[in-house]
């Protein structure tokens, strides 16, 4: 059940079999000239007949665009669990996942967000530049009282592309009301979070990577600089609940630790592609490193974990990874705004291990950790919640801590009870955690 549940997160379910199957006709008629030879008129005519039957007989009216989108989704989703088609609206979510950016003002709100209280603005964001502060309470948005918004409409309003910007009336923690104008922009959605020192005596730092985007390399560099300023000499890198993302970013991070050899290879129908180390860029070579992994560590995060494990640059602690070792190519299609993602090859580690679970019928995992540390059922949800939460930067942390102290509220997510993290720290302290350590 665990694997099935996770696979549901990685793969968005296709539409009803009836719609997906027969609507392939719409696809073939509209793009048939690109896919089939002109002589294959019988196939095109058959699909056109089925398409017309569906359009005329289906229980409700369907637009040509809906038929086309569903046909494309059905065609690709039937190939394997990872290939799929994104229509124009879904493409925006895909771009946020892989590009690491979204349109908004760059403010983190307390839950529930429709209550409109700012936890803190992100550094360098439009919200920060406009003067939004820790603890500000939104009273009105574009002249409308906050009570008129639900969560969805509030988020939509904050991403309004109007060049005039968003008019906010806010009340600060000091009781003063202010009028602000914020112009939404392209915001980096942080993929590197919770950078902090966990053991000052032994100089052990920690950070989590929630996914790999085109921004992750720069975010990681900034986090490592932050930790270096605090005299970090060893690192716990948390890849739990990281479902992957952009391969190039995972390779970029691996190259900072690995000074020679292969990082990963991809092998499919064409010639294998090798991603090799860059000796000049391996500035973190030799740093004591433990990587936390679990059953939700997948794809690009398995590439990084597998490379560092094979090169003996890191010890893996936690649970077996998911096992998504297949590469997808993404292509955009002109004015339609849609994008297609199709599996093209397999990942192979430096020791030529195939991560893909489906490649071996006797295996239901990807990579085994060097030190297996199980978690209790009640420990899992708090750990995942912590990893997925945003973490305040040093520019807002003092104000956030003062607010928390004055109000007596838990505004900064505390690190939960975490036997896997404790075991990683024990390894870096030079002690091998036995059952007695893990069962505490």
* pLDDT level of residue 92 (50, 70, 90 thresholds): low
| Lookup result for tokens 């059922």 | 377
Which of helix, strand or coil describes residue 276? strand
Check residue 434 and give its pLDDT.
Answer: 63
**Does residue 17 register a pLDDT over 50?**
no
pTM: 0.79
**Does residue 50 register a pLDDT over 60?**
yes
- Report the alpha-carbon distance of residue 169 to residue 177 in Å, rounded: 7
* Host H or E run for residue 68: helix 64-77
**Does residue 147 register a pLDDT over 50?**
yes
Q: Are 187 and 104 in contact (CB under 8 A)?
A: yes
Which of helix, strand or coil describes residue 92? helix
Q: Which domains does the chain have, with CATH numbers?
A: 2-78 (no CATH), 101-188 (2.30.42.10), 192-390+416-427 (3.90.226.10)
Tell me the per-residue pLDDT of 185-221, one tens digit each, with 9 for 90 and over.
Answer: 888 889 999 999 999 999 999 999 999 999 999 999 9
- Report the alpha-carbon distance of residue 277 to residue 299 in Å, rounded: 19
Q: Across 123-243, where does the E strand assignment appear?
A: 137-141, 144-145, 166-171, 177-182, 185-188, 192-199, 204-209, 234-238
Check residue 73 and give its pLDDT.
Answer: 81
- Report the alpha-carbon distance of residue 395 to residue 153 in Å, rounded: 29
Both structure tokens of 260 = 């020679």
**Does residue 23 register a pLDDT over 60?**
no
* pLDDT level of residue 5 (50, 70, 90 thresholds): low
Q: Which residues contact 438 (CB under 8 A, 6 or more apart)?
A: 373, 374, 419, 422, 423
Q: Are 296 and 241 in contact (CB under 8 A)?
A: yes
- Report the alpha-carbon distance of residue 85 to residue 42 in Å, rounded: 26
Q: Are 416 and 405 in contact (CB under 8 A)?
A: no
- Report the alpha-carbon distance of residue 108 to residue 121 in Å, rounded: 6
Both structure tokens of 387 = 């990893």
């Amino acid at each position: 059940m665990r694997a099935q549940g996770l696979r549901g997160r990685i793969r968005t379910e296709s539409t009803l079999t009836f719609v997906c199957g027969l609507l392939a006709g719409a696809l073939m008629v509209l793009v048939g000239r690109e896919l089939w030879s002109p002589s294959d008129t019988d196939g095109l005519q058959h699909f056109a007949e089925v398409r017309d039957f569906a359009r005329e007989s289906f229980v409700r009216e369907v637009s040509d665009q809906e038929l086309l989108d569903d046909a494309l989704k059905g065609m690709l989703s039937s190939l394997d669990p990872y290939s799929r088609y994104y229509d124009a609206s879904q493409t925006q979510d895909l771009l946020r996942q892989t590009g690491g950016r979204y349109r908004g003002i760059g403010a983190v709100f307390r839950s529930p967000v429709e209550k409109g209280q700012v936890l803190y603005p992100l550094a360098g964001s439009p919200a920060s530049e406009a003067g939004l502060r820790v603890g500000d309470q939104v009273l009105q948005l574009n002249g409308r009282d906050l009570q008129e918004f639900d969560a969805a409409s509030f988020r939509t309003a904050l991403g309004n592309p109007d060049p005039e910007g968003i008019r906010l009336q806010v009340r600060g923690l000091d009781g003063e009301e202010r009028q602000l104008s914020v112009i939404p922009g392209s915001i980096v959605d942080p993929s590197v979070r919770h950078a902090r020192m966990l053991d000052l005596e032994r100089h052990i730092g920690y950070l989590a990577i929630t996914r790999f985007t085109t921004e992750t390399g720069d975010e990681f560099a900034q986090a490592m600089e932050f930790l270096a300023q605090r005299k970090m000499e060893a690192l716990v890198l948390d890849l739990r609940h990281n479902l992957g993302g952009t391969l190039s970013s995972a390779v970029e991070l691996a190259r900072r630790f690995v000074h020679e050899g292969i990082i990963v290879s991809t092998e499919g129908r064409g010639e294998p592609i090798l991603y090799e180390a860059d000796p000049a860029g391996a500035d973190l070579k030799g740093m004591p490193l433990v990587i936390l992994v679990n059953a939700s560590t997948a794809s690009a995060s398995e590439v990084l974990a597998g490379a560092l494990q094979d090169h003996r640059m890191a010890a893996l602690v936690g649970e077996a990874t998911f096992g998504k070792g297949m590469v997808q190519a993404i292509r955009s299609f002109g004015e339609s705004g849609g994008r297609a993602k199709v599996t093209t090859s397999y990942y192979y580690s430096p020791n030529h291990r195939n991560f893909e679970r489906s490649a071996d019928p006797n295996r239901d995992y990807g990579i085994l950790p060097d030190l297996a540390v199980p978690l209790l059922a009640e420990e899992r949800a708090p750990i995942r919640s912590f990893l997925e939460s945003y973490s305040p930067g040093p520019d807002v942390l003092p104000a956030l801590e003062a607010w928390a102290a004055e109000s007596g509220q838990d505004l900064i997510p505390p690190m939960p009870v975490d036997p896997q993290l404790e075991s990683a720290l024990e390894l870096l302290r030079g002690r091998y955690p036995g059952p007695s350590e893990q069962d505490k």
